[in-house]
Structure 1
Amino acid sequence: MNRTTAQRILAEFKQKKVIVIGDVMIDEYIWGDVHRISPEAPVPVIEMQGTTVRLGGAANVAHNIAALGATPILIGIIGDDDGARMLIDCVTENQMSAAYLISDASRPTTRKTRVIAHQQQVVRIDRESTNPISETVRQDVLAQFEAQIQDADAVLIQDYNKGLLTPDLIASIIQKARDAGCFISVDPKFENFFAYKGVNLFKPNLREAETMLGMKIRENQDVNQMGRRLLEQLECDMVLLTQGPNGMTLFEGENFITYIPTVAREVFDVSGAGDTVIATTTLGLTTHATPVEAAVLATHAAGIVIGKVGIAPIQWEELQQTFSEDDNGD
């Protein structure tokens, strides 16, 4: 795909509106240097230099969509705590609306704190609840979703198994999105893996698919078999199987399989790469792009974000620059 084609697809993003519903979180980074080992235990002493707060989970997906020029409608659950205020501030600072986030004082805002020294992660601290949401909260979430669905081009479900996406809520979201004629994409995790039957795009990573299907991939033939099984069991239109440094494979039908290699770049941090892939592919599939073109665009986007330290969104301008003027390949 050349730059002209990429620019044509990217230009269409600006007219698109995507509901992103799923587990929102804060990614907090504490940066510092290590010059000695603690006398209290065999651990490094971090001399803190600063902190950074970024959007994570479904909020990072929405951030990617906004950075690519489209309009995200972010629906999720936050607590009534410092993490919630941090998340709302971060959402609004990045020109998105926090109006559709629902506060549930019974649970903390999901917050992951990473301590980084000399470009290496030393430790991660998680503050979260994975208990299923209450029926009252489920109804509030569904009401927000119903109020926005008629204006949306797509529904992107980002499941991190943090308790928001219960089987009942998933079924309601899919049915209402279908009724509205919306494209539906899913980035799953283990717990609800097979609850997403009938969606348009299902994007698991290799580890998730291996675990849920009870398969171990040893060669390309196994990957193809895995994709076919996912298509059959989930009754979906497409499966995009991400395979880390080995690229990803797009399955559009039993015999229509496309392997898409990674775009070679120096890797600093793979955090958030999956968020970028699902955001970019979903947007691409709301345009006149073919599924392969949308996936190639997503591969280029992921290649950019893994070259950044910490979770960071892809930018419209930097994505188009990764395509050469005359490149007709992937």
Structure 2
Amino acid sequence: MDIEKIFNSFNKKKIAVVGDIMLDRYIFGHVSRISPEYPVPVVDVSHETLRLGGAANVAVNIHAMGAKTILFGIVGNDDNARTLKKLMQNHGVSPEHLFHDPERPTTCKTRILSQNHHIARVDYESRDEATAAAEEFIDRHFKASIDSLDAIVLQDYNKGVLTPSLINKIITLASSRSVPVFVDPKLKGFFNYSGSTVFKPNLSEVASSLSITLQNTDHDIEQACKQLMTKMRCQHLVVTRSEKGLTICNDRFTHIPASSLDVADVSGAGDTVIAILSLSFAAGLDIETSAEIANIAAGTVCQEVGAVPVSPEKLLKACREYFKA
């Protein structure tokens, strides 16, 4: 396999990402005492960082690999929105397809860490469904872009952007143009994505959606996948299994073990998987090879603290070693 040739082909692809956009704020510090006011740790702050999360992190991962991306989503009319748009521009992703809703806050997750361990998280968000005006804006701009796309990612964090009607419009239009749709779902609205090309839930989402107790064994996963495939009518089911890697279900089962790289933080790993999975598939690779590359990419970003885009250099090196073996 010519990995360099595959990576070079990424810059010819264009992928749309539709979903819940977030601003991730990380506060780093050191805990050396307990508050006298209440028995909680006191964090002496050393520094803060701001990163793109959710659907924005997916878009940044795709762009980092050299492809073009269009990001559709909703932000508020607040300082976090302005910060988020500036970060997008810094990463080469245009904010022009974001709908501004002054009645809702821009989703922002603030994580407080001590010695790189998470102490607490503070969320600013609305989980209300997108307004009719927001949905119409996204639908109109999406339709204008469809004929230039090689793939579509629907990144759902249950913050309200991906309404049932918008999902149906996107999948129906994509199907009519033979553009593959990749879905990273959450439990609410799980079965609204019927007819997608690739459906990528995690282990707990599969168990909850089927109302079953699911052990993380190959046999249990295969039985659950059979049930889920009949409900989803997707071409490929890709189940991420944490330390067990991932499983692909189509006309057969393929189990891919997790990368053996050191794990510092799993934040954003799922975003990286769906980004690289969609990009590799759009570049003409089969679903199994695409999933192997995505799995390796997740391993590389888990070496960093916080959600970070994949490094093409690190991924290329890791892929060379993997496919040589």
TM-score range, shorter chain: over 0.9
Aligned residue identity for 1:129: S
Separation of aligned partners in 2, 1:323 and 1:182: 27
Q: TM-score, normalised by structure 1?
A: 0.95
Q: How does 1:21-40 map to 2 (within 5 A)?
A: 21-40=18-37
Which residue is equivalent to 1:321? 317
Separation of aligned partners in 2, 1:325 and 1:65: 22
- Determine whether 1:295 maps to 2:280: no
Which residue is equivalent to 1:234? 232
Separation of aligned partners in 2, 1:64 and 1:235: 28
- SS of the counterpart of 1:323? helix
Aligned residue identity for 1:262: A
Q: Which of 68, 72, 90 is equivalent to 2:69?
A: 72
Which residue is equivalent to 1:248? 246
- Determine whether 1:60 maps to 2:57: yes
- SS of the counterpart of 2:261? coil
Q: Which segments of 5 or more consecutive residues in structure 2 lack a partner in the other structure?
A: none
Which residue is equivalent to 2:90? 93
Which residue is equivalent to 2:155? 158
CA shift for structure 1 position 140: 1.1
CA shift for structure 1 position 179: 1.9
Q: How does 1:100-119 map to 2 (within 5 A)?
A: 100-119=97-116
Separation of aligned partners in 1, 2:314 and 2:320: 12
**Which deviates more, 211-220 or 240-249?**
211-220
CA shift for structure 1 position 188: 0.3
Q: Which of 162, 180, 183 is equivalent to 1:183?
A: 180
Separation of aligned partners in 2, 1:56 and 1:136: 24
Separation of aligned partners in 2, 1:290 and 1:326: 17
Q: Which has the higher contact order (CA 8 A, sep 6+)?
A: 1
Residues 266-302 of structure 1: CA deviation (Å, up to 9, x unaligned):
1111011100000011111111211111000011101
Which residue is equivalent to 1:278? 274
Residues 106-128 of structure 1: CA deviation (Å, up to 9, x unaligned):
10000000011111111100000
Separation of aligned partners in 1, 2:269 and 2:6: 20
- Determine whether 1:6 maps to 2:31: no
CA shift for structure 1 position 201: 0.2
Does the 8 Å contact 1:22/1:75 carry over to 2? yes
Aligned residue identity for 2:53: G
Q: Which segments of 5 or more consecutive residues in structure 1 lack a partner in the other structure?
A: none
Does the 8 Å contact 2:293/2:319 carry over to 1? no
- Determine whether 1:310 maps to 2:297: no
Separation of aligned partners in 2, 1:289 and 1:137: 35
CA shift for structure 1 position 229: 1.7
Identity among equivalent positions (%) equals 40
